[in-house]
Amino acid sequence: MNRGSKPAVLVTGGAGYIGAHTAKALHEQGYFPVVYDDLSSGFREAVRWGEFVHGDIRDGRALAETVEAHRIKAVIHFAGLIEVGRSVVRPDLFWDVNVGGTISLLAAIRDRGVDRLVFSSSAAVYGQGGRGPLETIPEAAPKAPASPYGDTKLACEWMIAAECRAYGLSAVALRYFNAAGADPSGAIGEAHEPETHLIPLAIAAALGRGPALSVFGTDYDTPDGTCLRDYIHVNDLAAAHVAALKADLAAGCFETANVGAGQGRSVLEVVAAVARAVGRPVPHAIGARRAGDPPSLVADPSYARELLGWAAERSELDQIVADALRWEAQPAYSTGARAAGRTVQAAPR
Ligand code: UFG
């Protein structure tokens, strides 16, 4: 793809769910995304904007070469492992890929002309932290990760902050709440293996393509007894990354910002929204609590508005579910198709 005079942005993990939506947003905003991904969980078909480089995030030499070859000025760092449950049984892997990968990325961009980093952090850095179930979370809330996944995200934030102070990089760590939905074009969407997220599982159950949904606990101290989460449309998340690239930050500055809609939705509210969208009930059963689930995680997103001039625009629950349903009904790629060797080649743009 022709780069022209567009500024090149390295997007590590750009073949994944949030990364691909962000690459599209970058393209639409006049940037040239250079996606760096090992395709361990991402999809080649999801890389439709800019350039693709196949590589491991721990490979410092390949990263440095990519930064130099594409004259990269800014980096958005998504690459990493995300399954909270797996992090409990394989913390070693999470520290290696998430923390080790960030160490190699920081070394690769140091002294190579990169002056802005946007880091994919998570609401998982907060845990429940003594908060009441209806309290929203500001950035300064206590950090009490409930999983090694959250630990690694927090450790990366600390490393990046120190790097900023020491070397003059400016960075924003975006703490995502629950990413959901899909681009309305149908070209990209959510595809995880295994899928553990509520909305795709509820849709699969309603469409009769998956087992009945298990609702993980109805005895939480929340209004209907199920966990509260702050669902944020993936396109709103993508827009926050572009805003973080553009934010007016001094050299050496490190910022954190919550990226959520600021509205808590219970598991049963999501089940009801999926039933409305599909026009059929969601077969479900009440199950036990899932280890590591905080009762509620709802953002106070006011600082993101102040720092980034950003606010959620597509994150009404019914809109998120409608977009997710469009994708799930006809995904352009999927782990099932990949396993069967049936992946489709994306049309060049
Ligand atoms: N849930 C069910 N049944 C399921 C799946 C999920 O009841 O089959 C419930 C969970 O218990 C939770 C809610 O639905 O209360 C949302 O669960 P998800 O698995 O969709 O998302 P999580 O809140 O566990 O985690 C997500 C990301 C993490 C991130 C976290 C931060 O997957 O990477 O949000 O809020 F750290």
pLDDT at 132: 85
228 lines ligand 1 (CB under 6 A): no
Q: Using 50 as the pLDDT threshold, list the residues of the chain that sit under it.
A: 344-349
Closest atom, ligand 1, to C-alpha of 216: 7
Mutate which of 143, 190, 229 for ligand 1? The one with the most ligand atoms within 8 Å of its CB, which is 229
**DSSP 3-state assignment of 283?**
coil
Q: For residues 137 and 117, what is the distance between their CA atoms, to the nearest angstrom?
A: 24
Residue owning tokens 């999801």: 46
214 lines ligand 1 (CB under 6 A): yes
User: Which residues lie closer than 8 Å to 200 by C-beta, 6 or more apart?
Assistant: 190, 192, 324, 328
Reference 321, options 279, 267, 270; nearest CA is: 270
DSSP 51-62: EEEE--TT-HHH
Distance 126 CA to ligand 1 centre (A): 14
Distance 297 CA to ligand 1 centre (A): 10
pLDDT at 3: 86
Distance 255 CA to ligand 1 centre (A): 26
Distance 197 CA to ligand 1 centre (A): 6
Closest atom, ligand 1, to C-alpha of 124: 36
229 lines ligand 1 (CB under 6 A): yes
pLDDT in tens, 222-276: 999 999 999 999 999 999 999 999 999 999 999 999 999 999 999 999 999 999 9
pLDDT at 79: 98
Across the chain, how many H-helices and E-strands are there?
Answer: 12, 14
Distance 198 CA to ligand 1 centre (A): 6
29 lines ligand 1 (CB under 6 A): no
User: Which residues lie closer than 8 Å to 341 by C-beta, 6 or more apart?
Assistant: none
**How do strand 265-266 and strand 228-229 relate by DSSP bridges?**
antiparallel
pLDDT at 346: 42
Reference 169, options 252, 104, 248; nearest CA is: 252
Is residue 303 flagged as an active site residue?
A: no
Residue pair 130/166 in contact (Cβ under 8 Å)? The answer is: no
Shortest-distance Cα residue to atom 19 of ligand 1: 197
Cis peptide before 194 (omega within 30 of 0): yes
What structural domains does the chain harbor?
A: 8-180+231-259 (3.40.50.720), 198-230+263-298+310-340 (3.90.25.10)
216 lines ligand 1 (CB under 6 A): yes
Q: For residues 37 and 28, what is the distance between their CA atoms, to the nearest angstrom?
A: 21
Q: Which of 17, 36, 126, 149 is catalytic?
A: 149
Distance 168 CA to ligand 1 centre (A): 36
How many other CB atoms sit within 10 Å of the CB of residue 151?
21
Q: What is the largest CA-CA distance in the chain?
A: 57
pLDDT at 292: 78
pLDDT at 159: 98
227 lines ligand 1 (CB under 6 A): yes
Q: For residues 261 and 231, what is the distance between their CA atoms, to the nearest angstrom?
A: 7
Residue type, 313: E
Q: What is the CA radius of gyration of the chain?
A: 19
Shortest-distance Cα residue to atom 20 of ligand 1: 197
Shortest-distance Cα residue to atom 5 of ligand 1: 198
